[in-house]
Structures are given as structure tokens and as C-alpha cells.
């Protein structure tokens, strides 16, 4: 299929959104969010329906495989005090070995190599940290923590005492319940600095209802990282490069996908992070899904042929974002923007705590479908 030249321009993925449409808090129960269902390839009015996430179970079949991301969000936002008494903020991104962590810093110009800062929290003793180096690739800082805090599992307890949930900047309100609500119900492996937000809609009740229908589940891990906080700035998308994220796809996932295919089921990703994990592992296997552990920086945009994913449950994403490119690869850029316009007109709630969209396998453009 010949691509529309506009598909390769970042400016083609823009849309206007009233700030009032940005969800500031989650709905309760989780499955009460609205759901825009897209279940036909043709862009006709009857190809979309409006429901709730609870109703999603009616769209799935026995033998389908849900692939979810079991990453757990760290309380990675830290307030620190500089030597002169002023305050600064660190956002932990990834370990660099021996207790050193790559962090985004604010204000960055006030945190220079050699500077010492103190991590503080109510009823906690201050802990001294040192800025070791600038990181040119990210604009961040490499910060030395006590050596025992070498990885996400080791540092998680410290962050619970000193840190805050790193809600996206467009969420202005903060609530103590965010520490629980900004996690999926199946979050198990610490390491992310942002939630895989489509999974926030899956309540225990909905997961049980899906299991009762014969829908299976498999868990991948993708620790959402710097890419979430860095806007795409490359107008020519053929030159786009993304910051890598750590992924693990285990043998049980490969086996589950194989079993699903053999029985005629569909591989359905919950969220774009699950897509990136599956497709990144498949790319590492030259198009064949194999166990994989390591960094993935795969760019998915229109023209991409999916190797594993048949359908997608996803939230509504920011303009000009890599996630908007990914969803456009499934159903086409113009159609996706038309669906977003429909959602805006019908007052759907957008972004992390917002509503959701279900892209059924039948709605995926034929050229993008696995095996097509």
C-alpha cells in the first residue's frame, strides 16, 4: 500500500483539545470509563459504537488472549534540597549501576556535576545524594544514591518513604489514593515511571468476568520510561528515533501466543506498551516471537506490518506523540483523527485517567494485520 506522504510528517498527527477534556481523576469503579468501540474496517458511522469498559467483555471470545503489561510504577518523583537551601526535583528514570541513577532534574541548570543535594520527606532522615554527571543524550543528570540501591527492586522501599507518584504534568490535582489508583491491578514488577494506562481500566471484577468467558491472559513487562516524558520533535518521521525501554517477554508468553494462534484465537494487547513489548520481541526474532529481555526502541507508525498483535485496547493519546503514531499504524492516521474528533464531540475524557478505545481485529487495515 502506498503511504500518504502526510503520514510521514509529525505535523499531520496534531489535533485540538480543550483542556477541560483532560481527565484529572479516575472513575470508580475502574471499568466505568467510557469505551469507543471500532469494529469495522470501513470508516462509516455504523463502524463505531459507544459503551463502557465493562461492556468490553461482550466483544471478546473464548480462546482470545489478552496480553497485559505487569510493570509497577515507582514513586519516582523526589523533592531534594540544594546546598544553598533551595528546592529541586528529581525524577528517577533508570539505573546506571552501583547506585547511580539517570534522573530528569528541575531546575536542571541548578544541579551541576559535583553538587550535593539532600533527599527529604516528613518524618524521615535526610539522605545525601551527589550529582555525578550530565547525560547529553537525555538532558538528565546521573545521580549517586547509596550503593545498595542498585536497581528498581532495591530502591522501591526507599521511594515509598521519600518519593511521590510521578503523575503526568497535565494532571493538576493530586490525591493520596493515586499511589494505588495509578497502578494496574496486576502490577507486579517495579521499574516504570508512568503507568500503562489502558490497564488502569481493568478491575478485578472485569478480569474475572473475562476469565469466565474463556479469555486467557499473558503478562509481558515493559518499564515505561523517558519516552513518556519526551515529546516527538522530528518532523520527518522517517528519521524518528525513540529512547529505548526495558522489555521482558518470557517463554510462557510465547507459548500462550502459539496456543492462541493454533486454536484460532486472537492476540489482543492491553495498551500500547504491551504492543511495543510483543512487537519488539518479534523484531528481535526477525519477525518471529521469541523470548526476549533487553532494551527496545522500535518505532511503529503507518506502514508497519504487525507480527503479533491483532487488536488493541488503548487510551486517548497526546497530539504528536509516538503513541498516536502507533495507533495510526493499526487503523490509519485520517481515520484515527476522525475518531478522536468524534470522541471530543461526545465529551470523552482524555489521557492517563481518561476513557478508552477498542480497536477490534476487524478494524485493522489489512496491510497491517499479522500474516497478511
Kindly list the averaged pLDDT for each block of 10 residues, start to end, along the chain of length 372. Answer: 87 97 97 97 82 98 98 97 95 95 95 97 95 94 97 97 95 92 97 97 98 98 83 94 94 98 97 98 97 96 97 97 96 96 98 98 96 73
- pLDDT at residue 88, rounded to an integer: 97
Q: How far apart are CA 133 and CA 111, in angstroms?
A: 10
- pLDDT at residue 2, rounded to an integer: 63
Task: Record the cell numbers describing residue 36, joined without a space.
Answer: 469507543
Number of H helices, E strands in the chain: 7, 17
Residue 355's SS3 state is coil
* Record: fold of 77-162: Thrombin, subunit H (2.40.10)
Among candidate residues 165, 189, 160, the one with its CA nearest the CA of residue 175: 165
Among candidate residues 370, 338, 371, the one with its CA nearest the CA of residue 47: 338
pLDDT digits (tens, 9 = 90+) for 184-229: 999 999 999 999 999 999 999 999 999 999 999 999 999 998 777 6
Detail the DSSP E strand segments found in 13-147. Answer: 34-38, 48-52, 65-69, 71-73, 77-82, 87-97, 100-106, 116-119, 127-135, 140-144
- pLDDT at residue 46, rounded to an integer: 75
Domain 5-73+180-368 has CATH 3.40.1780.10: yes
Residue 178's SS3 state is helix
Query: Can you give the residue ranges of every domain in the chain?
Result: 5-73+180-368, 77-162
Residue 326's SS3 state is helix
Cα atoms found within 13 Å of the Cα of residue 17, Cβ hemisphere only: 24
Q: How far is CA 203 from CA 188, 270, 288, 371, in A?
A: 15, 13, 32, 32
Amino acid at each position: 500500500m502506498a503511504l500518504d506522504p502526510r503520514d510521514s510528517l509529525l505535523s499531520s498527527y496534531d489535533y485540538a483539545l480543550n483542556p477541560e477534556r483532560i481527565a484529572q481523576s479516575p472513575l470508580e469503579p475502574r471499568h466505568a470509563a467510557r469505551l469507543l468501540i471500532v469494529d469495522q474496517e470501513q470508516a462509516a458511522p455504523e463502524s463505531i459504537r459507544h459503551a463502557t469498559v465493562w461492556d468490553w467483555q461482550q466483544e471478546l471470545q473464548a480462546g482470545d488472549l489478552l496480553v497485559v503489561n505487569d510493570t509497577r510504577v515507582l514513586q519516582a518523583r523526589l523533592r531534594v534540597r540544594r546546598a544553598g537551601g533551595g528546592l529541586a526535583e528529581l525524577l528517577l528514570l533508570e539505573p546506571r549501576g552501583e547506585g547511580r541513577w539517570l534522573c530528569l532534574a528541575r531546575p536542571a541548570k541548578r544541579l551541576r556535576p559535583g553538587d550535593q543535594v539532600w533527599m527529604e520527606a516528613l518524618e524521615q532522615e535526610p539522605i545525601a545524594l551527589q550529582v555525578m554527571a550530565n547525560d547529553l543524550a537525555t538532558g538528565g543528570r546521573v545521580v549517586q544514591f547509596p550503593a545498595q540501591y542498585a536497581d528498581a527492586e532495591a530502591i522501591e522501599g526507599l521511594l515509598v518513604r521519600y518519593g511521590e507518584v510521578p503523575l503526568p504534568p497535565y494532571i493538576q490535582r493530586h490525591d493520596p489514593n493515586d499511589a494505588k489508583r495509578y497502578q494496574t491491578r496486576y502490577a507486579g514488577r517495579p521499574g516504570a515511571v508512568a503507568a500503562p494506562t489502558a490497564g488502569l481500566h481493568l478491575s478485578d471484577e472485569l478480569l474475572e468476568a473475562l476469565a469466565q468467558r474463556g479469555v486467557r491472559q499473558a503478562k509481558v513487562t515493559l518499564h515505561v520510561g523517558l519516552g513518556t516524558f519526551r515529546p516527538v520533535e522530528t518532523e520527518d518521521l522517517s528519521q524518528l528515533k525513540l529512547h529505548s525501554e526495558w522489555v521482558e517477554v518470557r517463554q510462557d508468553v510465547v507459548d500462550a501466543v502459539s496456543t492462541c494462534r493454533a486454536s484460532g484465537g486472537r492476540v489482543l494487547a492491553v495498551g500500547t506498551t504491551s504492543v511495543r513489548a510483543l512487537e519488539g520481541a518479534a523484531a528481535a526474532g526477525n519477525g518471529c516471537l521469541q523470548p526476549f529481555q533487553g532494551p527496545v526502541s522500535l518505532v511503529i507508525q503507518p506502514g508497519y506490518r504487525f507480527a503479533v498483535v491483532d487488536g488493541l485496547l488503548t487510551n486517548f493519546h497526546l497530539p504528536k506523540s509516538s503513541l498516536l503514531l502507533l495507533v495510526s499504524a493499526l487503523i490509519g492516521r485520517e481515520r484515527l483523527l476522525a475518531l478522536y474528533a468524534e470522541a471530543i464531540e461526545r465529551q470523552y475524557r482524555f489521557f492517563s485517567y481518561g476513557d478508552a478505545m477498542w480497536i477490534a481485529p476487524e478494524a485493522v487495515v489489512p496491510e497491517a494485520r499479522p500474516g497478511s
